[in-house]
Amino acid sequence: MWVFLFGFLSLARSQGVAVSAELSLEKDQLLPDEKMRLKLSIQNRSGQDLLLGTESNWLTFTVLGEKSTEAPPLGTDQEYMDGETIVPSGKSASREFNLTPHFDFRQPGRYAVKATIKIPQWHQEVAVPPAPFTIVKGIRLNLPDIDMPVGVPFLQGRDGQPPEIRRYFLEKSEAPAGAQLYVRLTDATGSRTERLVPIGSFLSYSQPDVKLDMYNDLHVLHQTGARVSTYCVIDTLGQILERQTYQYTDRRPALLADGKGGVIVSGGARVVSASDLPPPQETSSTPPANPDFPGGKPGMKQDK
């Protein structure tokens, strides 16, 4: 998804080429296996339209670890763009990438990601300045209520076979902006991460309330403020099905089994929020599609 920008970007320029680019990270501190939201912005001041993507390897990334050692690639698929893209002269374009599935940077430490853009029409390259980031080890929370293997229900293509087995773990990370809470979904052994799901800010001195329902969905109620909690439901595929906000009243909110295999929030008062899932304007009971779901495919859009 390329987003075309019409404003001027103050970027580091490659000498002799009137095309410049920069990398920026939504977060510069990540947990192992956390999705990296990396944005590449390209500005064209060449006086000619810039044609990219005519060669399969026009864009390459490199991740450098300690002592400038390269993080090894995962697998062989290192093509990040399909098709051609034109960046008109005097304009800029940007796109987000997720390098987590492509490189092994799971060990805690300091890293930097850099990129090279090939411009075949001029037989030149643009070296993009590196963007630094840090991988930190999450702190796993001791929650006996969910310390058990669970099966993935209704998984297509597994008729007549035993269900895939997963495990849920909750982890927190400490950052200058405050602690963050995550759900780590692993295989049956707990050694291979299937999905790492960030579920929001977290008061690190509090203890999340967690329960499993009859479908093996994980319900999490965690404190995000002095009198505010966030409620999330995550399924065995790592999708966030529900997200709601609750305030304390005369009773603090808590998770309770409803006696029918489900889980409800008891106590407190729900507050409608723009971060709700399904969104507040949604009237359907069907959860909206999650853009981070592995089977999803982002669309194209252009800034107005």
pLDDT band at 2 (very low <50, low <70, confident <90, very high): low
Both 18 and 59 in one domain: the answer is yes
Instruction: From residue 227, give the alpha-carbon distance in Å to each of 180, 204, 211, 249.
Output: 17, 14, 21, 8
Between residues 224 and 304, which one has the greater pLDDT?
A: 224
Both 33 and 51 in one domain: the answer is yes
Both 202 and 234 in one domain: the answer is yes
Max distance between CA atoms of the chain, in angstroms, equals 70
Q: Is residue 298 part of a domain?
A: no
pLDDT on residue 101: 92
Q: How many residues are present in the chain?
A: 304
Q: Which of 104-108, 238-242, 273-277, 293-297 has the lowest mean pLDDT?
A: 293-297
Mean pLDDT of 104-128: 93
In this predicted model, what pLDDT tens digit does every residue of 191-219 receive, in sequence order?
999 999 999 999 988 999 999 999 999 99
pLDDT band at 299 (very low <50, low <70, confident <90, very high): very low
pLDDT on residue 85: 84
Q: Is residue 113 part of a domain?
A: yes
Q: Which of 69-83, 202-216, 259-273 has the lowest mean pLDDT?
A: 69-83
Both 111 and 7 in one domain: the answer is yes
The answer to whether 102 and 48 are in contact (CB under 8 A) is no
Instruction: From residue 286, give the alpha-carbon distance in Å to each of 5, 234, 241, 280, 283.
Output: 35, 14, 9, 13, 9
pLDDT on residue 61: 94
In this predicted model, what pLDDT tens digit does every residue of 130-175 receive, in sequence order?
999 999 999 999 999 999 999 998 766 567 788 899 999 999 998 7
pLDDT on residue 54: 82
In whole angstroms, give the CA distance from residue 96 to residue 92. 14
pLDDT on residue 296: 31
In whole angstroms, give the CA distance from residue 298 to residue 291. 7
Q: Is residue 160 part of a domain?
A: yes
Both 79 and 118 in one domain: the answer is yes
pLDDT band at 177 (very low <50, low <70, confident <90, very high): confident
Both 156 and 188 in one domain: the answer is yes
The answer, yes or no, to whether residue 290 has pLDDT greater than 50, is no
- Taking all residues of the chain, what is their mean pLDDT, rounded to a whole number? 84
Q: Is residue 280 part of a domain?
A: no
Domain count, the chain: 2
Query: Which CATH number characterizes residue 92's domain?
Result: 2.60.40.2970
Both 95 and 11 in one domain: the answer is yes
Both 56 and 127 in one domain: the answer is yes
As a whole number of Å, the end-to-end CA separation of the chain is 15
pLDDT on residue 79: 65
Both 125 and 42 in one domain: the answer is yes
pLDDT on residue 9: 29
How many degrees, rounded to 5, is the angle at CA 242 between CA 102 and CA 172? 55
Helix (H, G, I), strand (E, B) or coil at 225: strand
Question: Which structural domain, as residue segments, surrounds residue 222?
Answer: 139-271
The answer, yes or no, to whether residue 126 has pLDDT greater than 70, is yes
In whole angstroms, give the CA distance from residue 58 to residue 51. 10
pLDDT on residue 38: 95
Instruction: From residue 55, give the alpha-carbon distance in Å to each of 36, 60, 79, 217.
Output: 25, 11, 10, 44
pLDDT on residue 82: 64
pTM: 0.80
The answer, yes or no, to whether residue 14 has pLDDT greater than 90, is no
Q: Is residue 277 part of a domain?
A: no
Helices (H), the chain: none
Both 126 and 153 in one domain: the answer is no
pLDDT on residue 97: 92
Between residues 114 and 281, which one has the greater pLDDT?
A: 114
Both 128 and 163 in one domain: the answer is no
